[in-house]
Amino acid sequence: MYEMIQDTIVSRRTIRKFYPDDVPLHTIVEILEDAKWAPNHKFREPWEVVLYKGDGKGQLIDQVQESIVRNELDEEKSEKKKEKINQFINEIPIHLVVYMKSSESAKERHEDFAATCAFIQNFQLLSWSKGLGVVWKTNGFIFDPVFREGIGLEADDVIVGMLHIGKPAVIPNPKERKSIKNSLTICDTAPQSKKEHSSSM
Ligand SMILES: Cc1cc2nc3c(=O)[nH]c(=O)nc-3n(C[C@H](O)[C@H](O)[C@H](O)COP(=O)(O)O)c2cc1C
């Protein structure tokens, strides 16, 4: 079991080049059903998902392009970005917007964001184990409240990621990760004050 999970975690790569082959909707729904077992505080299950496929991709393209026009003042750059996004979304079979409601409590927002990230990573790992590739993106337009309303969310909803999904055409080589020893602090001695207290007795 450990080896299977380890292999999935270590071998998964972010995929940026996809085959245009269709991905059945039921496969994505099945993966989402399993990804929902992510840990989440008070069982709020904060994740919400909007899925775009087929002709529905046009709705996403329209809203992203409108956000680009609002935020990119250089007209030439804007046209290039619009064409790039049109091609990108059309060429990839499935797109997910994964978002959460924004709680008024900072603690709940923190927990819900963390849980939604865990949900996304579950989704990425399960997709990988089924031979599907995913790129998790956080493009500028997800921070545009007018974009969020344009796709039917509340202006203050939090988009945690755009996930683009398909059959991997290119699997990139992994970039080296530094040893966890660089990020690990081990505390295994009694507190200083207690030590002093016990030695004086
Ligand atoms: C929160 C988050 C946001 C990301 N945003 C982007 C993005 O906007 N564009 C992109 O190309 N990749 C994005 N990525 C993918 C990372 O670049 C990728 O995970 C990283 O290069 C490591 O590669 P690996 O996933 O193959 O290990 C994002 C990943 C995470 C976790």
User: What percent of the chain shows pLDDT beyond 70?
Assistant: 96
Is domain 2-173 classified as CATH 3.90.1150.10?
A: no
Question: 164 CB less than 6 Å from ligand 1?
Answer: no
Radius of gyration of the chain (CA): 21
The three-class DSSP label of residue 18 is strand
The candidate with the shortest Cα–Cα distance to 47, out of 146, 134, 119, 145, is 119
What does the pLDDT look like over 40-75, one tens digit per residue?
Answer: 999 999 999 999 999 999 999 999 999 999 998 899
Contact (CB, 8 A) for 130 and 173:
no
Indicate the domain borders of the chain: 2-173
Report whether residue 113 contacts ligand 1, using a CB cutoff of 6 Å: no
Q: What is the pLDDT of residue 120?
A: 99
